[in-house]
Structure 1
Amino acid sequence: MLWTFGRDRVAQWRQLPESTRPELRLLIEELRHLKQTSGLSLAGLATRTAYSKSAWHRYLNGDNFPPRDAVDAFGALGGAEHHARLLELWDRSVRPPEPTAPSQPEPALPEDPPARRPHRRT
């Protein structure tokens, strides 16, 4: 959704779901920030990268995970500092999440009962 104020256009992105991993959230927020500060429209971004306007819309809204090449191309437009940061965030966002410690310790298993000797009939 775009809000228009005179000739200035300000992008209003969808809120990311609570379930979005923190690493991915940081990547998307950084991409959004770079897009805003670059002054590029989605069409302008599409012209300067190999990805369409609609693809960038999906990436920036969090609907699709951006390919590394897309992040690489966009980062190169923003200069060395943004480029390195975006690639680092992309690399972190594709790593599997680290396992979390269980909230409660698992209950101890009961000890094995003592072995019983077979009973003989007499």
Structure 2
Amino acid sequence: MPRWKALPDELDPEVREFASQLRRLVDRSGLSIAAVSDRTGYSKTSWERYLNGRLLAPKGAIVALAEVTGTQPVHLITMWELAERAWSRSEMRHDMTMQAIRISQARAALGELGPNPPGSAKSSGKSSSAKPSKSANGSG
């Protein structure tokens, strides 16, 4: 029987429950991950990702696992649908977070340039007129 790694802490509870259910099916079947791979047509690496919560299994893999383990697919598909929605919400939050980070980085980069980009007349200390500027004490 395979020894499972702990599921990632950041997994949505529905995705966690679904991955745990997949693990129980594989455990009860007595099949190795390699045997599940051979019988379902999905790679061993993919099954490791599905069973460790790093990737949501596609519906086809779930149906194939149900067939291989002699499980009624209807309940497993229902759990998959709930997990898929949760996974999508999680990805959307991740995408929004990454977008916010990129915006923040862009703002920071633009802020480094200040109100006048390098090489502009004001930032180089030269004015657009040919007259020299006078110092505060009037000399110059």
Please list every run of 5 or more consecutive structure 1 residues that lacks an aligned counterpart in the other structure.
Answer: 1-9, 98-122
Which of 58, 73, 79 lines up with 1:67 in the alignment? 58
Equivalent residue, structure 2, for 1:44:
35
User: Which structure carries more strand by proportion?
Assistant: 1
User: Which structure carries more helix by proportion?
Assistant: 2
Moved >3 Å (runs of 4+): none
Q: How many residues get paired?
A: 87
Say which SS state the counterpart of residue 37 (structure 1) adopts.
helix
Equivalent residue, structure 2, for 1:90:
80
Query: What letter corresponds to residue 63 of structure 1 in structure 2?
Result: R
Cα distance in structure 2, aligned partners of 1:50 and 1:91: 21
- Are the equivalent residues in 2 in contact too, given 1:68–1:87 (CA < 8 A)? yes
- Are the equivalent residues in 2 in contact too, given 1:75–1:84 (CA < 8 A)? no
Query: What letter corresponds to residue 50 of structure 1 in structure 2?
Result: G
Equivalent residue, structure 2, for 1:33:
24
Deviation at 1:80, TM superposition (A): 4.3
Identity percentage over the alignment? Answer: 37
Tell me which structure has the larger Cα radius of gyration: 2
Q: Per-residue displacement from partner, 1:33-64 (whole Å, max 9, x unpaired)?
A: 00011011111111111201111111111121
User: TM-score, normalized by length of structure 2?
Assistant: 0.57
Deviation at 1:74, TM superposition (A): 0.2
Query: What letter corresponds to residue 30 of structure 2 in structure 1?
Result: G
User: TM-score, normalized by length of structure 1?
Assistant: 0.65
Q: Per-residue displacement from partner, 1:7-32 (whole Å, max 9, x unpaired)?
A: xxx31211112221111111100100
Cα distance in structure 1, aligned partners of 2:13 and 2:60: 21
- Are the equivalent residues in 1 in contact too, given 2:40–2:64 (CA < 8 A)? yes
Query: What letter corresponds to residue 74 of structure 2 in structure 1?
Result: A
